[in-house]
Structure 1
Amino acid sequence: MFRQLLTYTLITSLLLQLFSREVIVMSFELNRDFIAKNLCENRNRPQLNCDGKCYLAKKLKAQHDREDRETTERIQHMPVLALFCTDLFSFTFADASGDATPSLPVPYCQQSPYAAPLHGIFQPPRIG
């Protein structure tokens, strides 16, 4: 019983979040007379034929701004997984005569803990 109640509550909350704009429009349509008479900014000027549309526009804009803000926050706090390494180390190699060759940047990347071992999957074709 408790599991079903929790399941229905979670599904309902997810659907309300997903269809938040539609819920606002539906609420407006159901309460249109009340909104037009009490909450509309233009209720004292009936010649504009607003009928509460200003109230609906404000609510939809507020919802859009809230979604944009939440999306921006989510993107800013998203963990970043580095797929490419940009760190370069310089090594100097000396030959037998003792002359040092110029430093060459050598790319080096530490094994990522998320990397899958590719040596078991990709192998060169066997000849023979």
Structure 2
Amino acid sequence: MRILIPLILLSVYSCQLFYQAGVVIWFHANRAYVASVLCENKAKPELKCKGNCQLNKMAKNEDEKGDSTLPSSAQKWVEISPCELVSSEIDFQSFTLFRNYASVNPETYHFRPDYGIFHPPIA
């Protein structure tokens, strides 16, 4: 079961990822059919389209279909701030550059190391 779920997710993701590659492979496999039947420029042989117009049309349709399936909120870029500023005014005169912070209590902290515990191992 632990292997099955990742394999299913990987296959679904791969299908989505390689869908356009499948369209291109189908086009190249059926290029003669596309050029003779589906091509829009059959009457203009000087363009030498050979069905590329149909491939471009199919790719454009797939892109539009993919965009239309997204909800409208996902199509627009929405910028969301993780936090809001309550006040945009900053009083720079209240700031001081140097403050005395008592980070160490000198009554409980010994400034000299205790060398009694640092000794070579006794054999």
TM-score of the pair, normalised by structure 2: 0.51
Bigger Cα Rg: 2
Count of residues in Structure 1 that have an aligned counterpart in Structure 2: 92
Taking the aligned partners of 2:30 and 2:11, their CA distance within structure 1 comes to: 22
Q: How does 1:1-128 map to 2 (within 5 A)?
A: 11-69=10-68, 70=70, 73-74=73-74, 83-86=82-85, 127=104, 128=109
Query: Displacement of 1:87 after TM fit?
Result: 5.7
Structure 1's consecutive aligned runs of 4 or more residues displaced over 4 angstroms after TM superposition are: 6-10
Query: Displacement of 1:48 after TM fit?
Result: 2.0
Query: Displacement of 1:47 after TM fit?
Result: 2.6
Taking the aligned partners of 1:20 and 1:49, their CA distance within structure 2 comes to: 27
List per-residue Cα deviations over 1:88-126 (Å, max 9, x = no partner).
Answer: 7xxxxxxxxxxxxxxxxxxxxxxxxxxxxxxxxxxxx95
One-letter amino acid of the structure 2 residue matched with residue 25 of structure 1: V
| Residue ranges of structure 1 left out of the alignment (5+ in a row) | 89-124
TM-score of the pair, normalised by structure 1: 0.50
One-letter amino acid of the structure 2 residue matched with residue 62 of structure 1: N
One-letter amino acid of the structure 2 residue matched with residue 38 of structure 1: V
Taking the aligned partners of 2:47 and 2:75, their CA distance within structure 1 comes to: 42
| Residue ranges of structure 2 left out of the alignment (5+ in a row) | 88-101, 110-123
Taking the aligned partners of 1:51 and 1:22, their CA distance within structure 2 comes to: 19
Q: Is the 8 A contact 1:39 1:55 kept in 2?
A: yes
Taking the aligned partners of 2:71 and 2:35, their CA distance within structure 1 comes to: 32
One-letter amino acid of the structure 2 residue matched with residue 39 of structure 1: L
Q: Is the 8 A contact 2:67 2:75 kept in 1?
A: no
